[in-house]
Structure 1
Amino acid sequence: MGSDVDTAPLVGRGDTLAALRSALLDDVAAGHTAAVFLTGESGVGKTRLLAEVSDRLRDAGALVLTGSCLDIGDASPLHPLRQALRRFDAELTEARTSSAVRGLLQVFDEETPGPDGAGALLERVSRGLHVVAGGRPLVLVLDDLQWVDRSTRQLLLYLLAGLGDLQLSVLAAIRAEALQGAHPLRRVLTELRRLRSVRVVDLAPLDRAGTDGLAAAIVGAPLPPDAADQMWQRSGGNPFVVEELARDLRDGRDGLSDTLREVFLARVDALPEHAHAVVHAVAAGVEPVEHWLLARVVPLPEAELIEAVRAAVAHRLLVGADDGYRLRHRLVAEVLAHELLPAERAALHRRYAETLTSATAELHQARLAHHWRLAGEPGRALPAAMAAAREAERLHGYAEAHRHWSAALQLATAPAAVPPDPARPAPPGVDRVELLEHAAESAHHCGEHVRALALLEELAGDPAGPRACALHIRRARYLAAAGRSAPAEAEYRRALAAVDCTPGERASAAAHLAELLLHLGRYAEAGDQAREALQLAGEVPGSTSAVVLASAALGFSEAFLEDPDGGLAVMRQALETAERSGRPEDVAFAYLHLAELLTGPLNILEEGVVVARRGAERVAELGLGRTWETRLLAIATNGLFRVGQWAEAEKVVAAALRHRPSGADAVELLLARCRLSVGYGDIEASDRDLEAVATVLAGGGARHVLPMLILRAGLAMWQGRHDLARQAVQRGLTESRSDDVIVLATLAWHGLRAEAEAYGSRTIAVDPTAVRRLREVVERVARKSEKAGAPVRYVADGFLALCDAEISRLDDGRGDPELWARSATEWDRRNHPYPAAYSRLRQAEALLGRRVRVATAGKLLRRAHQMAQGLGAVPLSSEIRTVAGRARVTLEEGPAVVRPAPRPRSATSAAAPAVDELAVLTAREREVLAAVAEGLTNREIGQRLFISERTIGVHVSHIFDKLQVRTRVQASAIFLRNRPE
């Protein structure tokens, strides 16, 4: 197998390239020999590597002769050397060297080595190569050495043994699966391994990162997670296979290409008969296939079976391990699936199923269901699928359980391909309603919310389905999880009004409704609803889940509105109750609300982050990784963002997104990531996340609308689009029904800031109606916060201080320095560095505008810049530098030179840096940063610049230190902002 070297990039081989160059040139003393024999399976990239190494050796001054062996035995003595010399002769321009090459070719034409003349010929060839080399290091590169002729084998042994007066290195590629049995090259390699100067390197397939990188380079963009997983599983990291699959994906071709199919069929057909049967059997099995199971499916004597397995492993089709056998490439299974007749495939799967059924060990029900289904007997597969689903649920493996319940649904209606056997008892009847209920609930738990709702609708259409009240409650739960809170609330209220609602269902519906109202920020309603739910639950034995939900909602409501200590105690008690019950969803609810309370209204950020992360670990153990774990990690991310640990927050949100959440879970994480992107100034990433959130919320996700609009307003202001910021804030004020004074105060601050920015920049006129409305909101928040708990009032007062200071900017165009100083102090006390840095910037700007206390303004700007740089807040840092540049303030440590600002800020001043931020970098560091901004990895940058990956890592660290950033995103943003147009 070869690859298209013109279009496929070389990925993941940088270290190997460097090692080969060193072994063949740098480490070879004058007058000595060296050799590297590169082995590996077909398609692993040996030929491409030979070409790349050859180019580097030529650039280093070596004479490189390249040839290939032919699969025609000894019919062409010394063919690869003849070929190499002819190629070299065709490229030559020096007459003297060309004469030496043609003289050596004439030696080949005149003499054919016989039993007695081989030594003389080898000596003449050695001398001829010495003349051709002309004192330069000579490297002989041979491809497909598994087909080497006898004369060339003898020449290699002669030259590498140092019998010729020649400084020589040999690089040869060998197809590993071809060296079987008594292949003569096996003996040659055995002899050569004894020489210290000879290395045999087995070229491994690409790792996961290399596979992803190669596929992305060919497709033109990173593959979606599911497609990347499939690429890795099908290709096994083989570069040729990755290239073929990626091109098919890029060009929109379905199925398996004829090229890949024929390549793998040829490799399988080359196997001995018994090994052929073994590979077919493993391809039909569920990996890993244990040896005892394979022995029952492939009825061979033990010795013959072992030999067959050895042959399949040697041909690089199977991989053996302690737990059984696997295909090296799952693609082989796809190829072989079409090579057997349907009856042959069914018989093979039936042998597997019968063997597993008769085994004395504990049954693997999922595997059994798989084989009975493919054997054409759905009736025997169905009980096994249901048993596998229940076992997965018992172990909290909800994603696996959902797959099994979905398979059971299909099996329940599938016709049997095999006539029923009268001697075998028929499987027991299956309740389709039960299957639908289990499939819907498992889909809900594993985050497949759309699927859960679809199954629920199918269940509702079944005459034997659940009663109306039970359906309303289920539908509400699924809608809420999907981020559609408005229709979810309506469904809960329908459930409470349903005439067929039992006391237990009424308590459950009331508790879930209280929890939903809590998420919507309607804390007073949530508290009332929670008290009603607790009263209802007290009348129904065994209503632990309702008690946990209602207690968590009540505790949060009380902590926010009136009694922080009492409410917090109620929530901690709810968590203890949930842990005693052991029900996964109860534990998740309790952790979620406790972490939200601590990181939000109570502002106990450090403990809140710890609780969120501990809760994430706990619910992951309970099988809720894709849903509740992601929500808890989103809370941890927001807490880390507030305390200024943005780099750590970035790691947490990236880890959570690997679960590929959906619905409300995805929205929580996208909003958390968007906060970081807005702070970092990554406009494109912020826009992308906000668009994704808006798409999900189109179904009615009222809980997340205000956070989304606040972020939209903040992003618009950094873009200088104050009109868009105004629209986002006004929409939020119109749609909000939240009691959350903190969220309302945050929204009001963004609105006032947008109007103040518009006033200062003269981009748009200030809207008096919008300002009047925002002032009313500020007054309403101030009144409401007076009645809230002390911690809530404490946080709200910080935002009210920001609002008062922004209003002062609207009053006189400059702002009140004392109000901004009070805001900075308030946020310092709360350990929120971002608004503290912003307040110092505005305080300095106000002082400079009044042309007073200019030295103090310089200190404030330096302190603000230090804080913003520590966070990685690129837009804020840029605006600070702009103000400092206008005022001629030196931001570095030392005495500042400060002059009053001569004019108000312009519309474009925040968009461009006052100085070249890249001036601190060396030329090489600028090259590295340019590659970082392209999204290249350290390894890929090293390959481009011919530097080791470790050296690139050192350059990147220096770049981060000099630019005072923490992430590649931040560094890239600075580069893109400062690069010449």
Structure 2
Amino acid sequence: MSVDVDAPPLVGRADLVAMVRAVLLDDVAPGNTAAVFLTGESGVGKTRLLGEIGDRLSSAGALVLAGSCLDIGDASPLHPLRQALRRLDADLAAPTAASVRALLAVFAEDATGPDGAGGLLERVSRGLSVIAGGRPVVLVLDDLQWVDRTTRQLLLYLLAGLGDLQLSVLAAVRSEYLQNAHPLRRVLTELRRLRSVRVVDLDPLDRAGTEQLAAAVVGRPLALNAADRLWRRSGGNPFVVEELSRDLRNGRDGFSDTLRDVFLARVDALPQPARRVVHAVAAGVEPVEHWLLARVLGLPEPKLLDAVRAAVSHRLLVGSDDGYQLRHRLVAEVLEQELLPVERAVLHRRYAEALTSAPGELHQARLAHHWRLAGEPERALPAAVAAAQEAERLYGYAEAHRHWSVAVELAQGLPGVNLSDLLGHAAEAAYHCGEYARALALLEELASVDSELPTCELHIRRARYLAAAGRSALAEAEYQYALDAADCTPRQRATAVARLAELLLHLGRYADAGERAREALALAEQVDGAITEVVLASMALGFSQAYREDPDEGLAVLRRALATAERAGRPEDVALAYLHLAELLTGPLNILEEGVVVARRGAERVAELGLGRSYETRLLAIATNGLFRVGQWAEAEKVVAAALRHRPSGADAVELLLARCRLSVGYGDVEAADRDLDAVATMLAGGGARHVIPLLTLRAALAIWQGRHDVARHAVQRGLTETRSDDLVILAVLVWHGLRAEAEAHASRTVAVDDNAVRRLREIADRVAGKSERVTRPVRDVVDGYLMLCAAEVSRLDGADPDLWARVAAEWDICNHPYPAAYSRLRQAEALLARRRRPAAAGHLLRQAYRTAQSLGAVPLTDEIRTLAGRAQLPLEERPADAAPLVEHNSEELAELTAREREVLAAVAEGLTNKEIGQRLFISERTIGVHVSHIFDKLRVRTRVQASDIFLRNHRSEGLGFETR
């Protein structure tokens, strides 16, 4: 048997292989028979499954006879069995080979002899029994739709139990051939009723299986766009997936001649009316309703129904209540090349005319599509504009952007069309759906087309798009250009100032934001209907007040701004109001639980308003940060994974990647953290302190855990010199990381302590402390917590103070931040042990910190705690002195796992690889490896088998409620 060296792994069929093996071998009593018939469309993987299952059965001791039926009718009786026996003859030793040849000789005898066909079947049955020698026999038949009459009779004879051997049958049938009066169709219908027979309809792969197979062929995971296109084109058919994936691997984006020939042959096999149906559906916008197909083709109803049935039977078409669609979109691409341009245009014209003449509401998007492809842009343009406006009314900004872009394309060269108006709408729709680079490009095209465009308006729009793209410095300059423009009206001035206040708030310049907000509110009072300006300015003012003056009053202003935005109903205003309210609660005011609730509620609301890719992403990033701070890391991981499915861009992507990076740094997933930080740095051209300082802080944190203290020092110095911010919290965090890097350098003696850096950091910490006297109490409490960390890190340079670390831990307990509290307890224990004081107290602190770090999944912190405990010979597990050695793992040990670790362990118990678990849980393979390592540590095991055994035993015996999917 030849081996395909390029054969990809079998994907998505593990359960089916196990089931078939059990039916054909394990569950068959001696003297009984069993059969499994696999039906499915061509290319769905039947032949591959036959080979895989046959190998498994042969390895289990069965005699496997494999053959294929030929498409030559009854010209070759018992051909598949003869073929299988000839293959067996070539592989067997002499005694058994003689029995095989004797049975082959039986086939040469005249079946019309005195015993007739029945006698032949009986002799074949006896011959198979001799060859089997007491082993179970499995007859594997491919392409059973072409089975000859004699083989069909033999199968029925043996499955009826008329022979004298234990026989199982495994066969594959191409379902598109089982039409009308095909004899096998009736046979399978009867066999379905037998308890010993399974007829399995083999479905195509699901989306995850398709991507897994494609990745195996290409050699790497596909980009999201490529995966989307592959899924649409292939429909999950494994053969099509493999062919398209090989083309991708070899640098071709089309499809192979093999695929084209396969699909054309299937279409050519249809009756002529059915061929017309498939061509028409391929040209339509799926699903194509029955009434629409009837008008396009003009066939009488009975004839149309027969044609549709034929196309469905040949597995080219799928019918549902909504209409008809192709089983594989690739068929449309193949057929498009087979039609003449005039033929395609005629089909699209018929569609457009049928849609126009239909009573009721017009399908504007489809109408625009068909008129455009019919070559009539002047008739397509009004429909495209109407479709875009309809999408905007329903908050479908992504669809609106697509329709406006089509309208722009159609308008090129048409006389009397206002192209600048179309470009303006397209740019705004692109902005709302998160396509910020596209929005900026369309705006520049608009500026080049319309020389009379108001300068102030152009600057305001460019500033909005730049801010959303994360290019804050350029956005701030554009707002100033707008205010300086000679044509700036009072309304535009109010708009520019209000949006500038919102931008300054985003940059962390709260004092400037408050001043601009007051100015904007004063300007808005002079303009009728300036609701958006009032909402934006109120948010900036409320946030500034809550941070610098009165938290209660500031929160009240923000809540009123949200209520005003909801009443007005403008989506972007509602989104911004939720964004800043959630950010204030989870950030400066440290009201974490409420902030997370507001962020998630806001995410749901803005998703309803069509802003899922932009503002929903940002709100989920805020929720992730809040969950991180309160120690719900597993839940934070789920939230960030859900947000990433929107494929955000610009500042939205920056917010989300920074949130995910915090988790990766905490987990110790260096590769994932580095990747996210590099991506953020690439996107942050012209970014402000709000993003740059957290980016550099995370770089420092990652470098500290890696022992690269000079790299951490450099990152902190950059953050202190290259940015400006009023946000004392992020400044205090940055300074803490700088002093922590120096303290770690002192402890490890790998890098000399930079005394100048220490002096400068202490000076900045003092300035932050002075400025914190002028902010509200909640903000000051959080800032004080980080300043206490700074002071405690300084104490490590000349003899750490355990009492100081004790006060730091208590402060973070009050703030409900478990991670810095656990870190502080580690340092307190370290200081006690360094002074050779109270080892029992140090052990207690280490155990407290260890439990917290374990529950979070904070691997680097856990490792450092374990290292210190090991050096001091302090146990991290509290057990009674007279306790027996642990020999059994119980539910309490499983209860130590975090929620995410339980999910990972459940998947490990299913036998999934790290890569498969990562695909299921939407996190990186490396992060899964970190979780698995952590699970091994907690369960005190070394292998996946041992961990799975613990999980399954507890799952069965104690019903712990873990769910395996």
- TM-score, L = length of structure 2: 0.92
2:656 is the counterpart of 1:676? no
Give the partner amino acid of 1:184.
P
Q: 1:434 aligns with which of 421, 424, 427?
A: 421
Deviation of 1:735 (Å): 1.6
**1:781 paired residue number:** 768
**1:515 paired residue number:** 502
The alignment partner of 2:348 has SS state of helix
2:221 is the counterpart of 1:244? no
Aligned length: 917
Distance 1:927 1:430 in 2: 59
Deviation of 1:181 (Å): 2.2
**2:615 paired residue number:** 628
The alignment partner of 2:135 has SS state of coil
**1:107 paired residue number:** 106
Distance 2:848 2:280 in 1: 70
**1:66 paired residue number:** 66
1:720-869 superposed matches below 5 A: 720-810=707-797, 812=798, 814-869=799-854
The alignment partner of 2:916 has SS state of coil
**1:296 paired residue number:** 295
2:600 is the counterpart of 1:602? no
Deviation of 1:4 (Å): 5.3
Distance 2:324 2:439 in 1: 36
Distance 1:926 1:550 in 2: 50
1:233/1:330 contact within 8 Å kept? yes
Distance 1:765 1:838 in 2: 23
**1:962 paired residue number:** 939
Distance 2:422 2:918 in 1: 50
Note the residue ranges of structure 2 that are not aligned, 5 or more in a row: 883-896, 922-930, 949-965
1:398-409 superposed matches below 5 A: 398-409=397-408
Deviation of 1:938 (Å): 9.6
2:688/2:723 contact within 8 Å kept? no
2:470/2:650 contact within 8 Å kept? yes
**2:955 paired residue number:** none
Give the partner amino acid of 1:760.
A
1:155-174 superposed matches below 5 A: 155-174=154-173
Distance 1:39 1:930 in 2: 27
Distance 2:746 2:376 in 1: 75
1:188-267 superposed matches below 5 A: 188-267=187-266
Give the partner amino acid of 1:866.
R
The alignment partner of 2:648 has SS state of coil
1:928/1:956 contact within 8 Å kept? no
Q: Against the structure 1 CA distance between its residues 364 and 939, is the aligned structure 2 distance closer, same or farther, given a 3 Å change threshold?
A: closer
The alignment partner of 2:523 has SS state of helix
The alignment partner of 2:108 has SS state of helix
Q: 2:860 aligns with which of 861, 875, 891?
A: 875
1:282/1:325 contact within 8 Å kept? yes
Give the partner amino acid of 2:22.
S
1:929/1:956 contact within 8 Å kept? no
**1:27 paired residue number:** 27
Identity of aligned residues (%): 75
2:269 is the counterpart of 1:270? yes
Q: Against the structure 1 CA distance between its residues 773 and 260, is the aligned structure 2 distance closer, same or farther, given a 3 Å change threshold?
A: same
Distance 1:350 1:716 in 2: 63
Distance 2:291 2:501 in 1: 56
Deviation of 1:964 (Å): 11
Deviation of 1:196 (Å): 2.5
Deviation of 1:295 (Å): 0.5
Q: Against the structure 1 CA distance between its residues 938 and 871, is the aligned structure 2 distance closer, same or farther, given a 3 Å change threshold?
A: closer
**2:370 paired residue number:** 371
Distance 2:417 2:609 in 1: 28
Distance 2:110 2:800 in 1: 98
Distance 2:687 2:441 in 1: 17
1:479/1:487 contact within 8 Å kept? yes
Deviation of 1:698 (Å): 2.2
Distance 1:466 1:229 in 2: 39
Q: 2:691 aligns with which of 701, 704, 707?
A: 704
The alignment partner of 2:139 has SS state of strand
Q: Against the structure 1 CA distance between its residues 607 and 939, is the aligned structure 2 distance closer, same or farther, given a 3 Å change threshold?
A: closer
Deviations 1:442-462 (A, max 9, x none): 000001111110111111112
Q: Against the structure 1 CA distance between its residues 107 and 955, is the aligned structure 2 distance closer, same or farther, given a 3 Å change threshold?
A: farther
Q: Against the structure 1 CA distance between its residues 250 and 138, is the aligned structure 2 distance closer, same or farther, given a 3 Å change threshold?
A: same
**1:315 paired residue number:** 314
Give the partner amino acid of 2:81.
L
2:557 is the counterpart of 1:570? yes
Deviation of 1:963 (Å): 6.5
Distance 2:762 2:106 in 1: 99
The alignment partner of 2:338 has SS state of coil
Distance 2:19 2:877 in 1: 44
Give the partner amino acid of 1:768.
D
Q: Which deviates the most, 183-192 or 601-610? A: 183-192
1:433/1:464 contact within 8 Å kept? no
1:890/1:896 contact within 8 Å kept? no
2:694 is the counterpart of 1:717? no
Q: Against the structure 1 CA distance between its residues 48 and 471, is the aligned structure 2 distance closer, same or farther, given a 3 Å change threshold?
A: same
Distance 2:749 2:100 in 1: 79
Deviation of 1:707 (Å): 0.7
Deviation of 1:254 (Å): 2.5
**1:383 paired residue number:** 382
1:325-336 superposed matches below 5 A: 325-336=324-335
2:89 is the counterpart of 1:89? yes
2:809/2:822 contact within 8 Å kept? yes
**1:457 paired residue number:** 444
1:12/1:939 contact within 8 Å kept? no
Give the partner amino acid of 2:391.
A
**2:122 paired residue number:** 123
The alignment partner of 2:877 has SS state of coil
1:855/1:896 contact within 8 Å kept? no
Deviations 1:914-954 (A, max 9, x none): xxx9xxx9xxx99969986742349999xxxxxxxxxxxx9
Distance 1:714 1:360 in 2: 65
1:278/1:309 contact within 8 Å kept? yes
Deviations 1:862-881 (A, max 9, x none): 11000000000000000000
2:470/2:685 contact within 8 Å kept? no
The alignment partner of 1:787 has SS state of coil
Distance 1:699 1:52 in 2: 56
Deviation of 1:111 (Å): 2.9
2:624 is the counterpart of 1:660? no
**2:925 paired residue number:** none
**2:358 paired residue number:** 359
Q: Against the structure 1 CA distance between its residues 537 and 855, is the aligned structure 2 distance closer, same or farther, given a 3 Å change threshold?
A: same
Give the partner amino acid of 1:121.
L
2:859/2:934 contact within 8 Å kept? no
State the superposition RMSD in angstroms: 2.6
1:613/1:632 contact within 8 Å kept? yes
Deviations 1:148-201 (A, max 9, x none): 111111111111111111211111101111122222222322343343212211
Give the partner amino acid of 1:449.
Y
Deviation of 1:86 (Å): 0.7
Q: 1:495 aligns with which of 454, 462, 482?
A: 482
Distance 2:488 2:346 in 1: 52
Deviations 1:836-869 (A, max 9, x none): 0000000000110110111100101111000000
Deviation of 1:16 (Å): 0.6
Q: Against the structure 1 CA distance between its residues 664 and 213, is the aligned structure 2 distance closer, same or farther, given a 3 Å change threshold?
A: same
Give the partner amino acid of 1:434.
D
1:271/1:312 contact within 8 Å kept? yes
2:693/2:730 contact within 8 Å kept? yes
2:31/2:164 contact within 8 Å kept? yes
